[in-house]
Structure 1
Amino acid sequence: MAIQRPKGTQDHLPDGSPKLSLDTRAAAFQHVQDTARQVLTRAGAQFITTPVFEEADLVKRGVGGSTDIVRKEMFTVYYFGDHGGFILRPEGTAGIVRAYLQNGLKQLPAPLKLWTHGPMFRAENVQKGRLRQFHQVDYEVLGSTDPLVDAEAILLMVEVVKALGLTGVRVKLGSIGDPADRDTYNAYLRDLFGTHVERLSDDSKDRLERNPMRILDSKSAGDQVLIAELGVKPMLDFLGNDAREHFQAVQKYLDAWDVAYDVDPSIVRGLDYYRRTAWELHHEGVGAKSALGGGGRYDGLAEQLGGPLVPGIGWAFGIERLLLAMEAEGLDIPGLGGPLLYVVALDDEFVGHAATVAITARRVARAEFAYRAVKPGNAFRDAERRGVRLVALIGSDEAQQNVLSIKNLATGVQTTVATHELNAFLSEQLEHTGSAVAPNSAVAQENA
């Protein structure tokens, strides 16, 4: 039996592959990334990349030692048998904040907006929309505590998914207050759950001591039953004046921009460095767990990583989950289409010449060529399979006269074009159709 890909991973395949779904199309991933790039760069965000593996201590501090991610789902990287301290990144925020601190990015104008995309890794149970290697689009803003920054971050997340055509999305918005508010809330939770310890799951018993807010995120059905029975008060009831005013300001901006949201008191972020604004983006088309992604303010993270106080806020969504939502709404991605030009030699001696013609044509359009001599009928059939619009034939007469016999497969019209005038001819064709743009064109550069 041939070797198979690891469980919980996907191959992202070229269009035309058999059994291809939207979340396994390489072109679909590229489309999501290009759309995010367009929306976020227009808002002033700059692209950043960080390693796919980091020091284990960074991930433990950045994600939190009490989380399931750190305790159960991390992929540890060993080399030469003597380190064992590298972790495949489970999320992007900690690495970006580490890069900000290490590379002196505080010198750049604040607030600094950064974004990235790439693979993340978690050793979790595989299910619909939950993979062990998955991909995220990640947006972070560093250097400001202004609620206007929070509201803009939420707006941009919504704008990215709407630019992809999604309509069935909804923001669930909450706040987890300031550290003093959280201390008060955690004390309340310890008192409340302390008399029901025997009913808590083992994980939640541990969380009761470490971080009681994490109990509210428990995946245990028994824990959720207990939470409902006890009528646990939400974090929103414990907000101090400053955090409450901040939360109200965020909502005021969102209301002004017509961003639809529901205030959801159940949203919590259990880690110590999180502050105030927290939200999730949901879509019912991705399964029982409807969240496409989420975000929150993390003003204490830089200090947790050993740096100075640097306020921050960010979000991420899973590309695979977003593509499932698009598929649920019946959305597809814009087709790239086939080449504008397919150059075919009719005799073996002209194959090299055909290649040269096609390569030169790529200065203005997408062009391919046949790697061997082909008869006209076969050339046209092959071109149709590739989605080609124009087929250029080179036989002995064309080579001698330095011209190309070109057939438009859509109209059936045939014409003769001088080889040195081909690019001008192709440019004229593009003016009428506006597609099949060359890789070095302005549009392609914007999407690079």
Structure 2
Amino acid sequence: MSIQIPRGTQDILPGEVEKWQFIEKKARELCERFQYKEIRTPIFEHTELFTRGVGETTDVVQKEMYTFTDRGDRSLTLRPEGTAAAVRSFVEHKMYGDPNQPVKLYYMGPMFRYERPQAGRFRQFVQFGVEALGSQDPAIDAEVIALAMSIYNSLGLKKLKLIINSLGDKESRLAHRSALIQHFEPRIGEFCQDCQNRLEKNPMRILDCKQDREHDLMKSAPSIIEYLNDESKGYFEKVQQYLTALAIPFTVDPNLVRGLDYYNHTAFEIMSDAEGFGAITTLCGGGRYNGLTQEIGGPETPGIGFAFSIERFIAALKAEAVELPVNKGIDCYLVSLGEEAKDYTVGLLQRLRLAGFSAERDYLDRKIKAQMKAADRLNAKYVAILGENELKENRILVKRMETGDQWEMNLENFIEKFLELQQ
């Protein structure tokens, strides 16, 4: 019986993995420009981190976490998202005491959620995320959104739509909460069991329900915008002002509700408008979470961040037919004829690589024609051909594959001469 990959996971093979590496590299480069530094946290954490940080009423905690008990009878969970772990590390290592504030972090790595696999959605997925902790200036909200948009734009995505909303401060949310309960309670029996459970615990999460999204009460539900106090309104207006100054188009959607409990004030999603992208159009989501550090045991610290999956990023690139500049081939393929020449290319190949070139040679004792075909498959820029006669005469033949131009070079200073060819 053959063993196959678990459902909801994938193998990323050579030829495809280069796209991932390119996206990851570009995201890192942009984070460096914006002064965000990388943080790496464990793949599993104490379960309590997510029940407290993400929220007990969320689908993530209630239905999607991979939780297990270890040999010490501790409940541990494979991380379903990155923010709670980053904030836990921020608190545990007392980064709030660093002189450079706000603390700007980014992370990248596998996350795990037990949900129904579908196009662009997996049970193990790679998430890239950013967190800015220590500032409640609305300008940092705009910066975080600008960073997310910059990553997408830098890789050629154009059909993007930025949706923003304000979830308000604690006072505004309490007023909105009461209005939602009053609105839904008389007919809550018409909603799914999840929504019924959320009515008292977190009624705003009802607005995020996929099952009952077409219910008429959803369309007439009171908007959080109507319950924002003056401070929250002013904050949201500033965020919009800064986004306009940054020439970032956006749409305000009062029904945007992020799926995790820790959000307040600014919430946003970046969606793909590409034709054929699929029913789930969200590429990236984020927002402000001013109470999360206290929930995890730290001091009151404002924060904002976003996260996106690399899988959905690649799906969006495919939908827009964007070709990333990857798989460009190798610099040199060594073709050898005869046993002595073949032995010599072992050391020559190493010298090429140590000089900074991507290079390869034949390992299957193929004929010269088959070796040339192998070089062509690898998209080699040059081939260097070494036979028994060339070896005796201390020379090597170099051919540029694109043009057919050829040079004879002294074997002893081949590396130096090959370097000159690149200039």
Say which of 54, 72, 76 aligns to 1:86.
Answer: 76
2:343 and 2:46 mapped to 1: Cα distance? 51
- The residue aligned with 1:380 is 372
1:271 and 1:397 mapped to 2: Cα distance? 71
- 8 Å CA contact 1:175–1:277 kept in 2: the answer is yes
How far does residue 87 in structure 1 lie from its aligned partner after superposition?
0.7
**Across the two proteins, how many residue pairs are aligned to each other?**
419
- The residue aligned with 2:4 is 4
Matched, 1:160 2:151: yes
- 8 Å CA contact 2:88–2:296 kept in 1: the answer is yes
Query: Which of 1 and 2 has higher RCO (CA within 8 Å, sep 6+)?
Result: 2
* 1:369 alignment partner AA: R
Say which of 137, 141, 151 aligns to 2:142.
Answer: 151
Structure 1: state its 5+ residue gaps. 16-24, 432-448
- The residue aligned with 1:288 is 279
Matched, 1:414 2:406: yes
Matched, 1:188 2:179: yes
2:332 and 2:248 mapped to 1: Cα distance? 45
Tell me which moved more, 31-40 or 402-411: 402-411
Q: Show CA shifts across 1:384-435 (max 9, x none).
A: 111112111222233234332212222222212223433333333333xxxx
- 8 Å CA contact 2:58–2:261 kept in 1: the answer is no
- The residue aligned with 2:422 is 430
- 8 Å CA contact 1:179–1:272 kept in 2: the answer is no
How far does residue 372 in structure 1 lie from its aligned partner after superposition?
5.0
- 8 Å CA contact 1:247–1:277 kept in 2: the answer is yes
- 8 Å CA contact 1:175–1:268 kept in 2: the answer is no
How far does residue 47 in structure 1 lie from its aligned partner after superposition?
1.3
Say which of 214, 217, 222 aligns to 1:227.
Answer: 217
Residue 11 of structure 1 aligns to a residue whose secondary structure is: coil
1:384 and 1:335 mapped to 2: Cα distance? 17
Q: Show CA shifts across 1:165-210 (max 9, x none).
A: 0100010010001011111111111111121122121111110111
- The residue aligned with 1:95 is 85
- 8 Å CA contact 1:201–1:220 kept in 2: the answer is yes
Residue 195 of structure 1 aligns to a residue whose secondary structure is: helix
- 8 Å CA contact 2:22–2:326 kept in 1: the answer is no
Say which of 97, 100, 119 aligns to 1:107.
Answer: 97
How far does residue 339 in structure 1 lie from its aligned partner after superposition?
1.1
* 1:119 alignment partner AA: P
- 8 Å CA contact 1:281–1:291 kept in 2: the answer is yes
Say which of 318, 327, 331 aligns to 2:322.
Answer: 331
What TM-score do you get using the length of structure 2 for normalisation? 0.95
- The residue aligned with 1:371 is 363
C-alpha root-mean-square deviation of aligned residues, in Å? 1.7
2:269 and 2:406 mapped to 1: Cα distance? 56
Say which of 23, 34, 41 aligns to 1:50.
Answer: 41
How far does residue 271 in structure 1 lie from its aligned partner after superposition?
5.3
Residue 168 of structure 2 aligns to a residue whose secondary structure is: coil
What TM-score do you get using the length of structure 1 for normalisation? 0.90
2:417 and 2:226 mapped to 1: Cα distance? 69
Quickly say closer, same or farther: Cα 1:372–1:281, change in 2 above 3 A: same
Tell me which moved more, 47-56 or 350-359: 350-359
